[in-house]
Amino acid sequence: MTAIEQAEAMGSPSALPTAPNPALENLAPPPALPVSFHPTLPPAQPNDWRPDTVMKPTVQPRPPRQYRIRDRDTLELIAERLLGNRQRASEIFEANRNVLSRPDLLPVGRTILLPPRDQRSDLEPVAGSR
């Protein structure tokens, strides 16, 4: 049995005999690094510096706006026109319980307070998400 057949029988390709390579025997060691690459300072000591905590900008809540009720106004129409969403009519009613007795009975000429326009309702709905 030859050496190759023995290596194959053992299942190890590293068992194959290798011929000496004369080019690898006479290699010189790599050159030394230039002086600029040698560290001259002692290793840095750890410190306890930490970046400042990032503070989120504080958003001042907008004060409620005033609105004078006109003839043929409904809370849903006011909410749609001024807040961008009919579903917010109940917010208007809750904010004005001291002025309004019922959500379907709006006294013409009475001034009510409107909650701030919600920034999320400023966005247009995505097509097909209704």
* pLDDT tens by residue, 26-78: 788 888 777 666 666 676 778 888 888 877 777 777 888 999 999 999 999 99
Q: Given CA atoms 74, 79, 81, 85 in this order, what sign does their dihedral have?
A: negative
Distance of CA 63 to the CA centre of its chain: 29
Instruction: Parse the chain into domains and list their residue ranges.
Output: 65-114
Digit-coded pLDDT (tens) for 78-115: 999 999 999 999 999 999 999 999 999 999 999 999 99
The whole-model pTM stands at: 0.47
Looking at per-residue pLDDT, the higher value among 20 and 130 belongs to 20
Q: Which CATH architecture has domain 65-114?
A: Roll (3.10)
Torsion of CA 117, 120, 122, 124, to 10 degrees: -150
Residue-level pLDDT at 26: 78
What Cα–Cα distance (Å) separates residue 100 from each residue in 28, 29, 71, 94, 103?
A: 96, 94, 15, 9, 7
DSSP state of 76: H
